């Protein structure tokens, strides 16, 4: 029996995490699998599609200058109707917590397809943090028929919301599938961007990789973050900070104003996924507000300071692989200094087990779906 499967995503993080699922589903001849991208992000999404050699069957190309959540949500729901009426999938797959995820799950529900939520059950229980992601994932969770939870705790969150246990499976996170495959490939492929990054890395210094972009940190939060990074750099001549700076003006403004001209800080353009994986592997520690990096870095043995006050990934905090520092300048500085100077603490944190999986999440999803028809 042939069943139809539509895998939908729109942003770079989603593409990274859904690429292993696309690859896995294409192996199964009883699955007719198609890919739809909304292109909620465009250039960064295309970089990931190219790296993983994925050709979308449907490309809604929805990214617009100065797009907002109102128009984006409406456009995704409206444009998905054409795709769903053309392909008539039995199952659709959405990921995580983006606007694409929320709107596509609504459209899939309207079409009558079974909605499958990859990376299901993450919660902060604070609808404003992260915004709008917390509500996006809760909406998708209410609509979904099947839930692929990365951890026991995410499964418990779903059970507490009265989701049937029969419709939940703990899979691990597909981002680990992607990372383990990619971290091997980036050392053997010829990639101009990786070569450029290699040329700026000072191998004699401890590398701190920084990423930051979240809306809730805009304004005073980013000023505090940048002031902390400046003090860390000034106090540690044996450290190099590399910061691929997000294109959002609310991020670029304070970053370049406060951190430009410091000899051991390099501000660079955002990196495509292969170069970013290479840089993560070379780093000593990572300071970030990214959800995905919280999951990935422990598999590479890299301690993470998370510049958020809340996280929907508490397993990493409990396991000790990440430390929440928020945008508290003094806390960022003190935790970074501790990891730079306390060798025993650093080694213990680096050696901890990643709570997010073993790289076989996509296989578990495919096998589960085979039991549902």
User: How far is 280 from 287, CA to CA, in rounded Å?
Assistant: 11
Both tokens assigned to 20: 């292993």
**Per annotation, catalytic residue among 14, 79, 133, 289:** 133
97 is catalytic: yes
361: left (phi over 0), alpha (psi -120 to 50) or beta: alpha
The answer to whether residues 185 and 274 touch, using CB atoms and an 8 Å cutoff, is yes
213 is catalytic: yes
The answer for residues whose C-beta is within 8 angstroms of residue 331's C-beta and 6 or more apart is 325
Both tokens assigned to 42: 């465009």
**Per annotation, catalytic residue among 28, 42, 185, 213:** 213
Collapsing DSSP to helix, strand or coil, 356 comes out as: coil
215 is catalytic: yes
125 is catalytic: no
**Per annotation, catalytic residue among 24, 90, 97, 289:** 97
**Per annotation, catalytic residue among 42, 218, 246, 266:** 246
For helices 69-87 and 99-111, what crossing angle results, to 10°? Answer: 40
134 is catalytic: no
User: How far is 219 from 72, CA to CA, in rounded Å?
Assistant: 24
Partnered with residue 37 across adjacent β-strands are 9, 59
The answer to whether residues 194 and 201 touch, using CB atoms and an 8 Å cutoff, is no
**Per annotation, catalytic residue among 119, 177, 289, 335:** 119
The answer to whether residues 217 and 318 touch, using CB atoms and an 8 Å cutoff, is no
Both tokens assigned to 119: 């990376």
**Per annotation, catalytic residue among 28, 42, 185, 215:** 215
133 is catalytic: yes
- Which residues are identified as catalytic? 97, 119, 133, 213, 215, 246
């Amino acid at each position: 029996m042939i069943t139809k499967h539509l895998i939908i995503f729109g942003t770079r993080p989603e593409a990274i995490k859904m690429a292993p699922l696309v690859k896995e589903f294409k192996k199964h001849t009883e699955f007719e699998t198609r890919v739809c991208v909304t292109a909620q992000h465009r250039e960064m999404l295309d970089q990931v599609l190219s790296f993983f050699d994925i050709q979308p069957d449907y490309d809604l190309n929805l990214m617009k200058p100065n797009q907002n959540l109102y128009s984006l949500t409406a456009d995704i729901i409206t444009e998905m109707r054409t795709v769903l009426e053309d392909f008539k999938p039995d199952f659709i797959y959405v990921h995580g917590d983006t606007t694409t995820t929320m709107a596509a799950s609504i459209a899939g529900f309207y079409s009558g397809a079974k909605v499958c939520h990859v990376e299901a059950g993450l919660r902060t229980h604070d609808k404003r943090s992260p915004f709008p992601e917390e509500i996006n994932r809760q909406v998708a969770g209410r609509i979904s028929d099947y839930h692929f939870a990365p951890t026991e705790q995410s499964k418990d969150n779903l059970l507490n919301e009265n989701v049937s246990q029969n419709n939940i499976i703990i899979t691990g996170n597909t981002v680990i599938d992607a990372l383990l495959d990619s971290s091997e490939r980036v050392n053997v492929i010829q990639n101009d961007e990786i070569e450029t990054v290699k040329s700026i890395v000072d191998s004699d210094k401890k590398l701190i990789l920084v990423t930051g972009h979240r809306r809730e940190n805009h304004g005073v939060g980013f000023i505090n973050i940048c002031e902390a990074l400046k003090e860390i750099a000034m106090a540690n001549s044996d450290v190099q900070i590399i910061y691929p700076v997000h294109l959002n003006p609310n991020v670029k403004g304070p970053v370049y104003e406060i951190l430009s001209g410091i000899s051991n800080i390099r501000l660079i353009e955002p990196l495509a996924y292969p170069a970013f994986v290479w840089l993560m592997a070379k780093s000593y520690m990572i300071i970030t507000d990214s959800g995905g990096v919280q999951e990935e870095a422990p598999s590479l043995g890299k301690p993470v300071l998370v510049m958020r006050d809340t996280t929907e990934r508490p397993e990493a905090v409990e396991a000790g692989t990440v430390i929440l520092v928020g945008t508290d300048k003094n806390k960022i500085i003190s935790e970074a200094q501790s990891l730079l100077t306390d060798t025993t603490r650093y080694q213990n944190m680096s050696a901890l087990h990643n709570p997010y999986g073993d790289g076989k999440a996509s296989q578990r999803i495919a096998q589960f779906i085979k039991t549902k028809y």
